[in-house]
């Protein structure tokens, strides 16, 4: 009985370690290592957004910065669209954007995470990096 319990504990321990090393400690592939799948403007992305076309894709998006918000662990750059919705581009603490400000024209490469719901739905992009 004790041998079976020890064997079960050993199997669970090895399985847990495998999950940890293969999924948790797995090196993250950054956006710059991925190929751009779609090139568009912020206005077109917000206006013609469709999950089937954009969700999960690597997008190169150009537009004018409406605002920049910084927190402890991320920076959010919101692009103007000329509509009620915006394009929200997030940068992690590991890849902060260069010094940018509202009104500046930029080109970003990001992964599309979908469109939020509500009165002012935003297209959400993550893992962003500046192209220019």
How much is the pLDDT for 101? 86
The radius of gyration computed from the CA coordinates of the chain, to the nearest angstrom, equals 20
Task: List the structure tokens of 6.
Answer: 């020890």
What is the reported pLDDT for 34? Answer: 83
Q: Global pTM? A: 0.73
Phi and psi at residue 104, in whole multiples of 5°? -80, 135
Identify any residues that bridge with 88 across adjacent strands, giving them in sequence order.
78, 124
The reported pLDDT for the residue numbered 57 is 93
* Residue 10: Cβ within 10 Å count: 10
> How far does Cα 14 stand from its chain's mean position?
32
What pLDDT is recorded for position 17? 54
Q: According to the model, what pLDDT value does residue 29 have?
A: 52
Q: Give the residue from 53, 59, 52, 72 showing the smallest Cα distance to 87.
A: 59
Cα-flanking dihedrals φ and ψ of residue 102, to 5°? -60, 140
pLDDT along the chain (132 residues), means of 10: 72 61 52 84 92 93 92 87 88 74 92 85 89 85
């Amino acid at each position: 009985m004790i041998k079976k319990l020890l064997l079960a504990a050993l199997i669970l321990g090895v399985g847990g370690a495998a999950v940890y090393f293969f999924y948790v400690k797995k090196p993250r592939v950054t956006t710059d290592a991925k190929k751009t799948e779609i090139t568009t403007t912020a206005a077109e992305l917000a206006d013609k957004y469709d999950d089937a076309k954009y969700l999960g894709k690597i997008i190169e998006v150009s537009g004018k910065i409406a605002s920049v918000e910084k927190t402890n662990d991320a920076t959010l750059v919101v692009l103007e669209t000329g509509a009620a919705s915006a394009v929200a581009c997030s940068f992690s603490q590991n890849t902060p954007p260069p010094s940018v400000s509202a009104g500046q024209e930029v080109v970003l490469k990001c992964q599309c995470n979908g469109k939020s719901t509500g009165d002012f739905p935003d297209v959400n992009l993550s893992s962003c990096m500046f192209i220019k």
